[in-house]
């Protein structure tokens, strides 16, 4: 069983892509709707919330947990992997959604920590993300280690994830997206990025709005597709974490919030009706 954790509904875009690509696996999704969104919370609080919910998924039987929240992955993933996991769950693994995106934009595998030889033409990579993800500097740091020729420009998008989570009107979302794109382009003195990373899984729902606000030809990386492909590759290389679903197994979704409210909003992210349940005690 594979766990998928997100602060709210955004990770359902990752779950949908993973199920489409790997229909024979069983997933358990946990949304921390009671504390969503994470983007404006202090780093230590984000870490503790993430650690606690990953622990719950492990105790529920998951052998591998994917942090399908860019903020949680940016703040907590490395610390979980290096300090908590070896002591608490040495036989389990935690992955994050940043890795496949960094690998795609740099064209360098994650395990490579120094740039390959050769001179590359400079390119501009724009990152739209929550304030916490931007402040963590995880994206520019990891990209810079592997591809220093890439010029990384970040733009925080306060409240965008929260507006998406609460089903704001398209006009409201379009206005916010246009404003954030304009701010980013002002940082480039009116220039145009070569590639764009939508560094929040919620933003997959407004990808078209970003495409409309950006000049034609800008490449927007699709995080759900990249993460699903990377997860499938990881399971192929680490079969000990790849347990096919049985005939009676089903994907289950849990929430720390109100199951009825979570269920009502889930279809917009998942593309189909999916039911949330209350998180069992423990």
pLDDT value, residue 143: 95
Share of the chain above pLDDT 90, in %: 86
Contacts of 6 (CB under 8 A, 6+ apart): 12, 14, 29, 30, 31, 32, 67, 68, 69, 72, 201
Banded pLDDT at 122 (limits 50, 70, 90)? confident
User: Under CATH, to which class is 2-96+224-278 assigned?
Assistant: alpha beta
Banded pLDDT at 201 (limits 50, 70, 90)? very high
Which string of b and e fits 238-266 if b means at least 16 CB within 10 Å? eeebbbebeeeeebbbbbbbebeebbebb
Q: Are 92 and 64 in contact (CB under 8 A)?
A: yes
pTM of the model: 0.93
Break the chain into its structural domains and give their ranges: 2-96+224-278, 100-222
Q: Reply yes or no on whether the pLDDT at 221 is more than 70.
A: yes
Query: Do 100-222 and 2-96+224-278 have the same topology in CATH?
Result: yes
- Say which of 62, 69, 157, 253 is annotated catalytic: 69
pLDDT per residue as tens digits for the range 50-80:
999 999 999 999 999 999 999 999 999 999 9
The answer to whether 157 is a known catalytic residue is: no
pLDDT value, residue 222: 87
User: Under CATH, to which class is 100-222 assigned?
Assistant: alpha beta
pLDDT per residue as tens digits for the range 10-63:
999 999 999 999 988 899 999 999 999 999 899 999 999 999 999 999 999 999
The answer to whether 253 is a known catalytic residue is: no
């Amino acid at each position: 069983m594979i766990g998928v954790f997100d602060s709210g509904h955004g990770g359902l875009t990752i779950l949908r892509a993973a199920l489409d690509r790997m229909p024979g696996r069983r997933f358990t999704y946990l949304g921390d709707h009671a504390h969503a969104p994470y983007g404006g919370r202090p780093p230590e609080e984000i870490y503790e919330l993430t650690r606690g919910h990953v622990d719950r998924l492990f105790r529920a039987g998951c052998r591998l947990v994917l942090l399908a929240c860019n903020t949680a992955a940016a703040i907590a993933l490395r610390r979980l992997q290096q300090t908590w996991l070896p002591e608490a769950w040495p036989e389990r693994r935690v992955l994050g959604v940043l890795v496949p995106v960094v690998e795609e934009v740099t064209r360098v595998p994650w395990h490579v920590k120094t740039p390959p030889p050769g001179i590359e033409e400079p390119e501009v990579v724009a990152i739209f993300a929550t304030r916490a993800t931007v402040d963590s500097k995880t994206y520019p740091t990891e990209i810079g280690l592997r591809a220093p020729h890439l010029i990384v420009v970040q733009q925080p998008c306060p409240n965008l994830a929260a507006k998406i989570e609460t089903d704001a009107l398209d006009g409201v979302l379009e206005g916010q997206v246009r404003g954030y794109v304009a701010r980013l382009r002002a940082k480039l003195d009116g220039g145009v990025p070569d590639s764009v990373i939508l560094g929040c899984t919620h933003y997959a729902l407004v990808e078209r709005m970003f495409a409309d606000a950006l000049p034609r030809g800008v490449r927007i990386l699709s995080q759900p597709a990249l993460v699903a492909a990377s997860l499938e590759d990881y399971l192929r290389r680490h079969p000990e974490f790849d347990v096919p679903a049985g005939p009676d197994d089903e994907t289950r979704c849990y929430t720390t919030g109100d199951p009825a409210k979570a269920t009502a909003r889930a279809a917009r992210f998942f593309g189909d009706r999916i039911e949330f349940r209350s998180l069992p005690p423990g």
